[in-house]
């Protein structure tokens, strides 16, 4: 017996969660998490209770995943999605949010460069021999 979805609840192509995961490259647990924190709207269900997703879920999940790849936090992504959902986004507002994020990314890069320099200098001091004295451990302990 085939499980049909109410036409009032879903339009267009429908997918199960596994297919949504396959199409987006997102694992099932992550999809569940995004649903739980309300970043992905609750999908409609079939008469027997199975969740069914459509192209809007695919697009939204891809948006979230791409934003995560670019280092946006969950809260930052939620803010962008709220703008889109309300239809009130302006390029100026999105740019301002993006520039704030860019400042954070640049600060992290600067921190990583500083860390790299300290680690390289410390590793350079280490002989790598089988001796108990180790400049790396001493640097970490100080």
Q: Which CATH number goes with the domain that contains 20?
A: 1.10.1660.10
Q: Which domain holds residue 43?
A: 10-73
Query: Does 69 lie in the same domain as 25?
Result: yes
SS3 content of the chain, % helix, strand, coil (to 5): 60, 5, 35
Q: Among candidates 127, 134, 59, 63, which has minimal Cα distance to 94?
A: 63
Q: Which three-class secondary structure state does DSSP give residue 51?
A: strand
> How many structural domains is the chain composed of?
2
Q: Is residue 128 part of a domain?
A: yes
Q: Is residue 21 part of a domain?
A: yes
Q: Is residue 47 part of a domain?
A: yes
The whole-model pTM stands at 0.77
Query: Does 17 lie in the same domain as 56?
Result: yes
Percentage of residues of the chain with pLDDT beyond 90: 65
| pLDDT tens-digit map of 90-139 | 999 999 999 999 999 999 999 999 999 988 988 888 888 887 888 888 88
| pLDDT tens-digit map of 30-82 | 999 999 999 999 999 988 888 999 999 999 999 999 999 999 999 999 999 99
Q: Is residue 31 part of a domain?
A: yes
């Amino acid at each position: 017996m085939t499980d049909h979805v109410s036409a009032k609840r879903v339009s267009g192509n429908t997918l199960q969660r596994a297919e949504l995961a396959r199409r987006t490259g997102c694992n099932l647990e992550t999809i569940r998490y995004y649903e739980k924190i309300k970043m992905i709207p609750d999908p409609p269900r079939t008469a027997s209770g199975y969740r069914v997703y459509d192209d809007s879920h695919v697009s939204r999940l891809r948006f979230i995943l791409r934003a995560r790849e670019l280092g946006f936090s969950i809260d930052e992504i939620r803010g962008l999605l709220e703008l889109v959902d309300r239809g009130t986004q302006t390029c100026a507002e999105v740019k301002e949010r993006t520039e704030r994020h860019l400042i954070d990314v640049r600060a992290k890069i600067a921190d990583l460069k500083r860390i790299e320099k300290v680690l390289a200098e410390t590793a350079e001091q280490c002989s790598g021999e089988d001796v108990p004295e180790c400049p790396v451990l001493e640097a970490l302990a100080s």
